[in-house]
Amino acid sequence: MLRHRFGTHEEPALSIPAAEPRPAVRQTAPAPEPEPPPFPPALDFLQRRVHQQLIDELDQQGLAAMAPEDARRTLREAATTTLAQHRQPGLNDYRAAIIDAIIDDVLGLGPLEPLLRDDSVSEIMVNGPQQIWVERKGRIMRTGYRFRDAEHLARVIERIVSPLGRHVDEASPMVDARLPDGSRVNVVVPPAAPHGATITLRKFARQRLTPADLVRFGTWTEPMHEFLEACVAAEINIIVSGGTGTGKTTLLNVLSSFINESERIVTIEDPLELQLQQPHVVSLEARPPGIEGTHQISQRDLVRNALRMRPDRIIVGEVRGGEAFDMLQAMNTGHDGSIGTVHANTPRDAISRIENMVLMAGFELPDQAIREQIASAIQLIVQLSRLPDGSRRITHITEVAGMEGVMITLQDLFTFDPQAPGEGGQSHGAFSATGLMPHFTDHFERNSVPFPGHLLRTPRWDRPA
C-alpha cells in the first residue's frame, strides 16, 4: 500500500521555473523573443504629441459625463481630425492603431488596454513604467508596450483604484483591487517598490473551461474527470492544492460545476473569482480594513456566518488563515461536499499548511487534536503543478486515509509520472491509477452514487496531449 507519513526591449524573456515532481526531467524550452513595440519610435512620439494636444483641447469633464460609447466616438473623431494635420512617413500603416492607443490612454488604462483585450494573455505584470510583461500559455514574455513615464503609470493606477473607493500612496503603498470585468489587480508603489510602481493583473476568464477542455489541455484524463465528478456528487470534502498560477481557481470552477442544481451553495472568496452556473449560489467576499484600519470583513467572519445560511455546500476560494479552523469544523458537523483551495506544492505540504493555519485561529490546541480534525474532515487532496513548459497537470489525487498514531496518512489514488516516455522517446509524462481503493466508499452508498472503482484499477491512462 502506497502511504506517506506526515511529518530595454532587447532583454530576454523569462521562462517559468515551475515546481517539478522530479527535477531530473527538466526540459527548458527556448525563451520566446520579446515582443516588438506597437509603433516605430517616430510614430510613438507622434502618438504622444497628438494625445497631449487632445488633452489640452478637449473638455475632460464633458467626456467623463458622456456614455462610454459616445465618449469613444467623440474622441475618435477628434483624434482622426488632429492626426490628419500631420505628415509622417509610415503613418498610414499605423493610423488606426495610433487612434486606438490615444482612446485607450484617455478613457482606459493606456497601454494595458490592448493586453486586456487579448484573450491569449492570462496575466499582465508591470515592473515600473518601461517594462510590461505578460503570461501566454504558461510562458512569461516581455511586451513592447510601456508607459510614458512614472507619472503616466501613476495616473493609470489611480484610474484602477479610485472607482473602488481605494487609495494607494506612501503611507499605504499596497492595495488589492478588482476591475469591473472581475480581473484581479495588485498594486505596489514606492517606497515598498523602490524601483517603480508595479501592477500585477490576473485577467478574469471570459469563457468558463469545461471538463473536456481540461482533458484537451492535458490537465487530467477522462477517467480522472469521471472519478472526481463522482466524488463531488458523493459529497466528498476536497482540497485543491497548488502553487501560484497552477490553475486552482480554474479547477475549482470545474469541480463546482458537478454540484447538483438543487443545492444551495455559499462561496467565500477574496476577491470574487468563481463563475458558478447553478441557480442557487450566494457569493460572499472579504473586505480589507479601511483607511483607519476599521470595517474589515475577514474570510473567517464569512465562513462562520455561512454556517448560519443553511448551505448545502461551502466553497472557500482560498484558505489563507484562521478560517481553516472554521472550515474544518463545518466539514466535521454535517456540511459534507465542501471544497477549498490552498497554496502548497505537494499533498503533504497541503496538510502542513492547513495545520499551521488552524493555529493562526488563536486556539491552543495540541498537534494531535488538530491532525485528528484534519483527518476526519478532509477526504481528498487534488494537487496541481505547473511544469517547465508552462503546462498544468494534476500530479496527485490523494486520499487523506486517516491517522496512524499521531501522524496523518495519505494514499495516492492517481499520480502523474513526468518521466514516462512519450512518442519518439520524448518524456511527456503519463497519468496512472495506483490500484488502491479509498476508505470513503461509504459516502457513495449514503448519497446513492455508484462507486467508480473500475476507474482506479486500470494501471495507466493515455498520455496528455
At 419 the pLDDT is 80
Distance between CA atoms of residues 32 and 334, nearest Å? 51
Task: Give the list of residues 6+ apart from residue 268 with CB closer than 8 angstroms, or none.
Answer: 284, 286, 299, 302, 303, 306, 314, 315, 316, 317, 323
Distance between CA atoms of residues 112 and 126, nearest Å? 9
**Domains, the chain, with CATH or none:** 41-202 (3.30.450.380), 211-457 (3.40.50.300)
User: pTM to 2 decimals?
Assistant: 0.80
At 459 the pLDDT is 59
Nearest to 122 by CA among 138, 102, 106, 104: 138
Distance between CA atoms of residues 204 and 122, nearest Å? 8
At 59 the pLDDT is 81
List, for the chain, all residue ranges whose pLDDT scores fall below the cut of 50: 1-27, 424-426
At 63 the pLDDT is 82
At 25 the pLDDT is 43
Q: Please write down the HEC assignment for all residues of the chain.
A: CCEEECCCCCCCCCCCCCCCCCHHHCCCCCCCCCCCCCCCHHHHHHHHHHHHHHHHHCCHHHHHHCCHHHHHHHHHHHHHHHHCCCCCCCHHHHHHHHHHHHHHHHHCCHHHHHHHHCCCEEEEEEECCCCEEEEECCEEEECCCCCCCHHHHHHHHHHHHHHHCCCCCCCCCEEEEECCCCCEEEEECCCCCCCCCEEEEECCCCCCCCHHHHHHHCCCCHHHHHHHHHHHHCCCCEEEEECCCCCHHHHHHHHHCCCCCCCCEEEEECCCCCCCCCCCEEEEECECCCCCCCCCECHHHHHHHHCCCCCCEEEECCCCCCHHHHHHHHHHCCCCCCEEEEECCCHHHHHHHHHHHHHCCCCCCCHHHHHHHHHHHCCEEEEEEECCCCCEEEEEEEEEEEEECCEEEEEEEEEEECCCECHHHCECCEEEECCCCCCCHHHHHHCCCCCCHHHHHCCCCCCCC
